[in-house]
Amino acid sequence: MSARRKDSITEGKDSEKSGSCSKSVSEKEKGMQCELCEDWFHTSCVNISDELYRCFSKNDGLHWFCVKCNGNFFRLFNSVSRRELRIDKVEERQNTTEISLKSVIDLQISENGNRV
């Protein structure tokens, strides 16, 4: 029982650590650098297979973000696209108010023209 408990405790600690390992990556170890926060992570800590690691080291064009930044990036991306949508809607509204204003002015002009 006591041994099992110990295991579950270390397991919990490991899952907390994953993605944000406090140990620095030495030159001998395989590490990934997050493109956003520029932190280094052990490939084993961020669940990157040797195959994937080789892919990344071969291709400079591949981008990798750590778990933390990945979440932040998508949150940022979502908020930006949502903001753009909002701007579109505001612009639409401005256009319609402009049109209605113009029609009001046209009406006033024609009314005045009729009266005078």
Cβ of residue 22: shortest distance to Zn ion, in angstroms?
Answer: 8
Nearer to Zn ion, 62 or 116 (CB): 62
Nearer to Zn ion, 38 or 51 (CB): 38
Question: Which residues are near Zn ion by CB under 5 A?
Answer: 21, 34, 36-37, 42, 45, 66, 69
Instruction: State which residue has the least CB distance to Zn ion.
Output: 21
> Which DSSP string corresponds to 32-96?
EE-TTT--EEETTTTT--HHHHHHHHH-TT-----HHHHHHHHHHHHHHHHHHHHHHHHHHHHHH
